Amino acid sequence: MPTPATTPLGADQNTAPRRRPGAAALGATLLGFFVITLDALVVNVALPSIRDSLGGGITGLQWVVDGYTLMFAALLLSAGSLTDRHGARRTFGVGMAVFAVASAACALAPNLGLLIGARLAQGAGAAVIVPSSLALIREAFPDAGRRAKAISLWALGGSAGSAAGPVAGGFLSQIDWRLIFFINLPVGVIALLLLAHTRVSQRREQAGFDWTGQLSAVIAMGSMTFAAIETGAAGFTAPHVLFSYALAALAAVVFVRAQARGKHPMVPPALLRSRTMALASGIGFALNVGFYGMIFLLSLYLQQAKGMTALATGLAFVPMTVFTAFVSPTAAWFAARFGPRMPVITGQAAMAVGLVLLALVPSSAPTWLMVVLMIPVGAGGSLAVPALTSLLLDQVPAERAGTAGGVLNTSRQVGGALAVAVFGALVADRAQFAEGLHISLAIAALAVLTTTAASFLLRPPAPHTAAPDVRTVGSRA
């Protein structure tokens, strides 16, 4: 049975009108995913410049990074639900507008506190953009084959943003670090113009909002991130650190109960019981621990330990950028040739190898060796993420695409936020920076190796079948 998304509103049945909205939707979502992924990493290389301009120690700099990823992660689940209730096109437009305004506020921030506050607002806008962009693609490309190719191109935008972040941050911070936020404005405008030319039928659900789930999610993620960051500054046994860990655990319990027993859960119980959803979330978490953790660590290492400039540090990420941009478009072909599970496994294995080798490289090793070893980390993630996303979306109906995308990307952002928090704590002592660097990379490698093994339990959907009803996702996935 065709979904309403197969025919744009107000369009006739010929081929050309069906393609134009799909192209516009893909262009808007690709730009949106590019710019929000760029901003997750563009600040890493610029951190020393921000510290010189606004002050603050390692804790303040961690919050400049994690303030964004924390709100990104905390609001993704409800953003997915809002997408399903209010329609992908409208929700994406609101998220893009919020992100652009918050970017301007970041660029104009006169002190570190206001910059962190604006980064929180940026993260909120980004949280809305991700699930709504996936749902928009799901509506604009009802055919599974075309949708897989569209998701690969969408993921290319994210891969390009991830890879270009350190390079752009290094180049622009040499001029003025505020430019790393100003560049978001024209990208946001173009994305909104493309969205204006997108006409897809909206499948909406009218239901209440899960306030208990959302509040408990924010408290759990915020407390855990705060505790991890403060562990490096105050120690694990500090009273406020122990209290934050306990609060995070309590809030997590409240969240799980709210999803299981609440009237309007952000995450339907069927999704929570889905093995594919659980595995995909764990894999996404580990991939971001490896990638975002590596970028954060090496951005600091190359400048503090190797004495490189911000520009030179950014250029050190160029080879990884090139390979990442090359690998991402091949993900759809790889999945079609060998099945969607194979690129997920192969990508993680490549990332794990790169992280293990980086962890074993001595501090005296030449910079070029570290540059080479970054490549499998970035390329592996670029191969795994689009295949993982496509595999998951193929197993949920269109009206749950936003929620499923929100769950997956929440786990990814939590992984990135905790990596920065924990690894930042391990390298907070400059005298022990090299030791903390190697321990952090080893932890990241172990996380990815674990999920690589678990990936063999993934079950791709049966060919030529429609996405299952959400009531059966848990039993069939």
Which is nearest to 386 in space by CA: 444, 309, 334? 334
Report the alpha-carbon distance of residue 364 to residue 69 in Å, rounded: 32
Angle between helices 318-327 and 330-338 (to 10 degrees): 50
Tell me 329's DSSP state.
Answer: T
Span between the terminal Cα atoms of the chain, in Å: 21
Token digits for 188?
């946001």
- Residues 6+ positions from 318 with CB-CB distance below 8 Å: 167
Report the alpha-carbon distance of residue 159 to residue 412 in Å, rounded: 14
- Residues 6+ positions from 418 with CB-CB distance below 8 Å: 224, 225, 228, 289
Report the alpha-carbon distance of residue 44 to residue 295 in Å, rounded: 7
C-alpha dihedral over 152, 27, 416, 325, to 10 degrees?
50
Burial of 165 (0-12, 13-18, 19+ CB in 10 A): buried
Written as one string, the DSSP assignment of 307-326 is ---HHHHHHHTHHHHHHHHH
Report the alpha-carbon distance of residue 112 to residue 124 in Å, rounded: 19
CATH of domain 16-199+264-476: 1.20.1250.20
Angle between helices 144-175 and 367-393 (to 10 degrees): 150
Q: What is the pLDDT, as a whole number, of residue 9? A: 35
Tell me 14's DSSP state.
Answer: S
Per-residue 3-state assignment (H helix, E strand, C coil) for 359-427? HHCCCCCCHHHHHHHHHHHHHHHHHHHHHHHHHHHCCCCHHHHHHHHHHHHHHHHHHHHHHHHHHHHHC
Question: Is the CB of residue 406 less than 8 Å from the CB of residue 81?
Answer: yes
Q: What is the pLDDT, as a whole number, of residue 284? A: 92
Token digits for 314?
């950014």
Q: Is residue 82 classed as helix, strand or coil in its secondary structure?
A: helix
Output the tens digit of pLDDT for each of the chain's 477 residues: 333 333 333 334 444 344 455 788 888 888 998 988 888 778 888 888 888 888 777 777 888 888 888 888 778 777 777 777 777 888 888 999 999 999 999 999 998 889 999 999 999 999 889 878 888 887 777 777 777 778 878 877 776 777 677 788 888 888 888 999 998 999 999 999 988 887 665 555 555 677 888 888 888 888 887 887 777 767 778 888 899 889 999 998 998 888 888 777 777 777 777 788 888 889 999 999 999 899 888 988 888 888 888 888 888 888 888 787 777 667 767 777 777 788 899 999 999 999 999 999 887 888 899 999 999 998 898 888 888 887 887 776 666 666 777 788 788 878 888 888 888 888 877 777 888 899 999 999 999 999 999 988 877 655 544 333 333 233 333
Which helix (H) or strand (E) covers residue 445, if one does?
A: helix 433-454
Counted residue by residue, the chain has a size of 477
What is this structure's pTM? 0.73
Q: What is the pLDDT, as a whole number, of residue 174? A: 85
Q: What is the pLDDT, as a whole number, of residue 182? A: 92
Q: Please state, in angstroms and as integers, the Cα–Cα distance from residue 419 to each residue in 227, 255, 285, following that order.
A: 13, 22, 10
Alpha-helical runs (H) found in 176-274: 179-182, 184-196, 211-234, 239-261, 269-273
Question: Is the CB of residue 347 less than 8 Å from the CB of residue 382?
Answer: yes
Report the alpha-carbon distance of residue 270 to residue 472 in Å, rounded: 7
Q: What is the pLDDT, as a whole number, of residue 20? A: 52
Which is nearest to 170 in space by CA: 365, 303, 260, 354? 303
Q: What is the pLDDT, as a whole number, of residue 168? A: 84
Q: What is the pLDDT, as a whole number, of residue 7? A: 36
- Percentages helix, strand, coil for the chain (3-state, rounded to 5) are 80, 0, 20
Provide the phi-psi class of 459: left if phi over 0, else alpha when psi is between -120 and 50, else beta: beta
Question: Is the CB of residue 428 less than 8 Å from the CB of residue 302?
Answer: no
Domain extent listing, the chain: 16-199+264-476, 210-263
Long-range contact set of residues 107-113: C-beta below 8 Å, sequence gap at least 24: 107/178, 107/179, 107/181, 107/182, 108/178, 109/54, 111/54, 112/50, 112/54, 112/55, 112/56, 112/60, 112/64
Report the alpha-carbon distance of residue 430 to residue 443 in Å, rounded: 19
Question: Is the CB of residue 359 less than 8 Å from the CB of residue 438?
Answer: yes
Report the alpha-carbon distance of residue 279 to residue 383 in Å, rounded: 17
